[in-house]
Structure formats: structure tokens, C-alpha cells
Chain A
Amino acid sequence: MSGSSIGISAQSEGHYVDLRRIGLLESLRKEDQTWAKLAPRWCVTSPDPPWQVCLDATCDALSAGGTLDSLERRHAEDELETVYSEIPNPERQLLALAHIMVSRGLLSEEDLARQIRAVRARLEAGQEEDG
């Protein structure tokens, strides 16, 4: 996390994670985009978003490799509950993972922003022809 990021506001130090807000993640915390809102809009009854299994595997792989052990991540998640309180799980779990990784320097906010743009462009490619 770059200390000079304009997205980082009030200082608040947790025991397991830096609780300062991260600008990029703040821009993504939209309740309207959560599965709980999205699924009913499309008449989908599955209670979990399809990406949840991938998130679980990411957490497991990070822990198994010694990068971020599960117990520490869960403690950090608990601390971040207040930061992302209005977002339900598993979206909150995903935001917390991204927050922990950025705050621990495993990913930079800039890299994540770039990758988000790249992924979005890739997923949206072809939508116009299909839509």
C-alpha cells in the first residue's frame, strides 16, 4: 500500500491489519453489486456467487504456501468487519482479503487497479456482439 494514496483516510491500527481505508476498495464496496442483490435481479436462486469457490481456493493456496496463514487472515477479517460492515459475506471476505494483501504489501494498490481494468476489459470483450 502506498502511504501517500489519496484513498487512505483516518489512521486506525488493528492488531492484525492496518485498518485505514483503501481508496480502490472503497470504490468497489457497492451493496448493489453483491450477490444478495444481483441474484434476485436475474431470478437466480443459488445462494452463493460462482466465484466463491475460487476465493476459498485462493485463501487456501495463500495459507498453504505460507504467504498468509488462514488463522491470521481470519483475525484480520474480524478486525475489518467494522470497515466493511454494510457489505455481506462472501463479498466482505473478498474485500478483506484484498485489503489485507494490499496493507501487507503483497499487492500494491496500483497493480490491483491495473489488473482490475485488464480483467474487466477481458470479461466485457464480446458482450456487444452477444448483447
Chain B
Amino acid sequence: MATTQNHGHDHSGDGGHEHPAAPMVDEISDFEVLELAVRELAIEKGLFTAEDHRAFSEWNDARSPAAGSRMVAKAWTDPAYKARVFSDPLAASKEVGVDWSEPSGFGTTSDYMHMTVLEDTPKLHHVIVCTLCSCYPRPILGHSPYWYRAPNYRRRIVRWPREVLAEFGLIVPPEVELRVEDSNAKSRFMVLPMRPEGTEGWTEDQLAEIVTRDTMIGIAMPKPGRTSDGPRPIHKASRPVHSGGRPREATP
């Protein structure tokens, strides 16, 4: 795109920017226009205000998997609560602060008020997917990760689950049955992973920290010391590549 306007900062070459801009859709689609037109007309007619709209957007964006982590940790430490997680997952969600009926009284835009919690055992491991689109238990786990919505995962996890899990670094032993649960617009699933060894005597808060989003999707197992905000594992390269040429050891 040739830029003829000067907005007060340099867009030529890399001046002012150290990295190239991510690709973006520079085309106005009919659907983008329709969304804005519907929203603006609704505001014009007094059906809601621009401030209402902004508040709902912000509320949506702020959801996280923290409530799901709390739910699992509580189920690990409280057998009565664990029973309620399976018998009435929506009531159990409410106990950890998530009301599936919010914000509209009937749930969010796309989430029906229905969820099933899948219990992992030493002989059975679950993983969830939405083969059709990207259905996900958003009220309890927040927004789905990018790869969950990508066709690559959706297509392949149902065909080659062990191989796909291995790509995430999770090796499920052959003697463990693997069940892939396919979500749809009206049924959402969440995995209740097994409590790992080495967590005896831990508090609910400590346990919740290791129940990361991925463990409730089923592509990872909880492990002491592995938290979503912990230090990233760094493995020093055994044959580091030096900038400007081939690795020194490889030079004849």
C-alpha cells in the first residue's frame, strides 16, 4: 500500500518499527459493514447504548480459565463437591463464582447452559475438541486457544489422537484408553484431570495453580511445579548456531 499521508511518524521501511507489521485484512467485507450497521441501528433505536455494548465486550474479553482451575482443585480436595461437579456442573460452577446464565439470563451469545465434566482415571484419558467449529466451555475456561479453533487440530485429533497429543508433548501410554469428546453448539465439555503425585497436603490454592487451561482441555497433565505463569523451560542447545556462519564445531 502506498502511503501518501504523513501521520506524524515514519512508516517508510523499518524506520520507527523494528519488526514488520503482522499481516492484516485490508479489505472491507460486507459482513464487517453489516455488523456495524446492525449495532449502530440498535443504538440509534435505543435498544441498548454504546456504553452497554462496550461493557459487554470488555466482560467477554476478561474471562479466563481461573474458575475451571478452582473447580478442579476443589473437586480434588472435597469429595462431596466432586460429586456435584458430575451431577450438576452448572451448580458446581456457581460455587466457584461462574454463573452460566450470565450475562443475559440464558448464558452468553453462543454458549448454551449445558456442560459435562469428564473424569480422567489411571485407565482413561479425555481430550476435548469441536470438529465443526470452535465450541468451548467459555464461561468456565475463558477463550479457547488459537490452535483449538484451527482446522489442523479439529481434523486430526479425532483421527490420530495419540499422535496429536504427542505433538503437544503428552505421551499417553498404550494401555490407557483415549476418548475424544466432540463438543457442539449445545454441549460443552471440560476434563477433570487426575491429581498428580507429590501434591499430598497441598491447599486448594496451590492445587489450582497447576491446573492450567491445557490440562482441562486434555492436552497436558497437571504436574507439581508446572503453572501457566511459571518460568518457561529452557534447554541449552548442545550445538548452538552462531550468528554469521556455521556452528564452530562443524567447521572443518
Contact = CB atoms under 8 A, between A and B. Distances in A.
Contact of A54 (B48, B57, B107, B149): B57
Interface in B1-56: 1-5, 23-42, 44-45, 47-48, 52-54, 56
A63 B101 CA distance: 11
A97 interface: yes
Interface residues of A, number: 59
B33 A119 contact: yes
Contacts of B2: 131
Binding site of A, secondary structure by majority: helix, strand, loop or mixed?
helix
Given A28-B30, A62-B48, A123-B33, A94 B38 contact: yes
A50 B48 CA distance: 21
B35 A53 contact: no
B19 to A, nearest CB: 16
A47 B53 contact: no
B134 interface: yes
Interface residues of B, number: 52
Given A44-B23, A60-B56, A64-B104, A51 B150 contact: no
A33 interface: yes
A83 interface: no
A45 B105 CA distance: 34
B31 A34 contact: yes
Nearest to B37: A115
B103 interface: yes
Interface stretch (B87-95, B108-116, B171-179, B239-247): B108-116
B34 A94 contact: yes
A107 B104 contact: no
